[in-house]
Chains A and B, each alone.
Chain A
Amino acid sequence: MSFELNGVFYQTDKEGYLENPENWNKEVAEYMASTVDTELTPEHWQVIEILRDYYQEYGYPPQVKVIVKTMQKRFGTEKGNYKYFYQLFPKGPYLQAYKIAGVSNPCKWM
């Protein structure tokens, strides 16, 4: 499967995750967000940035506990808690946050 943005084709797997996380960019994130009924706000972007940072550094997406902890470190406990995370991504990390951040599901790495 694939989709097209500004003349560029992006491959996805059968669950709609970006096939190659290296091809991710902000437009891809906006597109992915639309497939999971999400309108990206600056608050969403803060989480996505953490996911991307982690992925870029370790080649692996962070677990939800790690995301929440990093949020806490960067923005304080007001944003660094599970309730806040799930308010932003009610469908959960894998179905929503990972997909938008283009890092797919960890099982894919296997």
Chain B
Amino acid sequence: MEAIQPRHISDEIKGFLKNVDFNTCLTCGTCAGGCPVSGISGELEGWDIRKVLRKLVYGMVDEIVDSKFPWVCTGCGRCIHACPMKIDIVYLMKIMKKLRDRDKVPGILHKGVLKVLETGNNMGIPEKIYMDVLDIVGEELREQPGFEDFNLPIDKDNVDVAFYPNSKEISADSDDMKWYWKIFHAAKANWTIPKDNWEAVDWGIFTANDEASMTLAKRKIDFVKSHNIKRLILPDCGGGSLGARSSIEKWKAKDPSLAIDYLYIYDIFIEYMKEGRIKVDKSKNTKIHTWHDSCKHGREAERMFGQGKYDEPRWLLQQCTDNFVEMHPTRENAFCCGAGGGAWAGPYKEERNYYGRKKAESIKNSGAEVVVVGCSNCRDQILRGLKPKYNLNIEVKYIWEIIAESLIME
């Protein structure tokens, strides 16, 4: 009889895994109980995060790395939030992604990372098309009353804030940019958008490509510094905010002279409202509104940086409407929509929609007619994924869309 051979685990993997103490895991299953992936069918049938952890304990690293699981997990952090032993499952799943050969990264994500490194945006949109689109959208905005003298500030020096668009806006949803632009214009903001390397969203965080994330963050730091810009706005939730922020902080730790000031999109609009620079008309929003807590602006921001953006968007929303309801669960317990961790751009649509059933339930039970969001991937998943899939009778709006549409122009 042949003796069972112990598996060989490479030093690289051991190095990553030694940051997590599996011995403390109680195998209680709390993580799996709160994870929307549990109960999934298809290739991952029978898998859940607790089982994945047990497999890792047995050294079955390749099975996890080769599976869909780390790519269906959205890094929402609900597991670690509830885990009594605080085992860092989000980190573990990141390592599983990292160990995947780059040419086997599912879908377009890795190609997007290569594109952004090469061209400055995830889709490789040439400068001419970027500038043409910005020009046309600006022209269209000038046709609207109150915005006749709108001028898009590109690569301006000495401004208060820098704001980055994303390639989805340039390639398809260009009208969405008008909402931000309107608010900046109404607030007489001193702002700018970049001409080069303009991509807001860091897909390096979605593929666990730390080197790429660092390069992308450095470009933003360089832009802010070279144009003497006071603050960088972190847009979107995963790649644009949490990803960019983590890498900006890492640069600062390496070299304090690279520190820059940044703020979330909510903070700048709160500032404008509190300073009386923009005013909104509540009577425009009579439908029942609810707020979708994105995991990367809420729970994960709280875990990594000590504070989640829960109150800020609610405050803004309550300036725009008197008709607000909470979802349940909410705030740090809220479910991810299913688009996180790059899942929206990834190829596993069925899994993504299965994942989102929990959010769809929360939305339905809230009775809300308008689901308000602060991220383009959350928006797309709820509007284009969950709404048709679960027959949700809702509108999905950005918080800045509501503000822009309620502006009182003086």
Contacts and interface: CB of A to CB of B under 8 A. Distances in A.
Interface in B152-180: 170-172, 174
Given A63-B170, A63-B172, A110 B133 contact: no
A109 B122 CA distance: 10
Contacts of B189: none
B383 interface: no
Contacts of B59: none
B122 A110 contact: yes
Given A109-B123, A110-B123, A60 B129 contact: yes
B129 A58 contact: yes
B144 to A, nearest CB: 16
Contacts of A36: none
Interface in B138-162: none
A65 B174 contact: yes
B123 A106 contact: yes
Interface in B84-134: 108, 111-112, 115, 122-126, 128-129, 132-133
Contact of B123 (A54, A58, A69, A107): A107
B137 interface: yes
Given A69-B136, A109-B124, A63 B108 contact: no
A57 B127 CA distance: 12
B133 A60 contact: no
B171 A63 contact: yes
B124 A63 contact: no
Given A60-B124, A63-B174, A110 B129 contact: no
**Most chain B beta carbons < 10 A, residue from A54, A57, A69, A110:** A110
Nearest to A69: B136
A59 interface: yes
B45 to A, nearest CB: 26
A66 interface: yes
B135 to A, nearest CB: 8
A62 interface: yes
A110 B172 contact: no
Nearest to B135: A69
Which one of A54, A59, A62, A106 has the greatest number of beta carbons of chain B within 10 Å? A106
Nearest to A94: B172
A59 B125 CA distance: 9
Contacts of A107: 108, 123
A59 B118 CA distance: 15
A65 B137 contact: yes
A110 B115 CA distance: 7
A60 B129 CA distance: 8
B128 A58 contact: yes
B132 A62 contact: yes
A63 B170 CA distance: 8
A66 B133 contact: yes
A65 B136 contact: yes
A13 B128 CA distance: 27
| Nearest 3 A/B pairs, CB to CB | A110-B111, A110-B108, A58-B126
6 contacts: A54-B129, A60-B126, A63-B174, A69-B136, A107-B123, A110-B115
Given A63-B170, A110-B111, A110-B112, 20 more contacts: A58-B129, A60-B124, A60-B126, A62-B129, A62-B132, A63-B129, A63-B133, A63-B171, A63-B174, A65-B132, A65-B133, A66-B132, A66-B136, A69-B132, A69-B136, A106-B171, A109-B115, A110-B108, A110-B115, A110-B123
Interface of A: 54, 57-60, 62-63, 65-66, 69, 106-107, 109-110
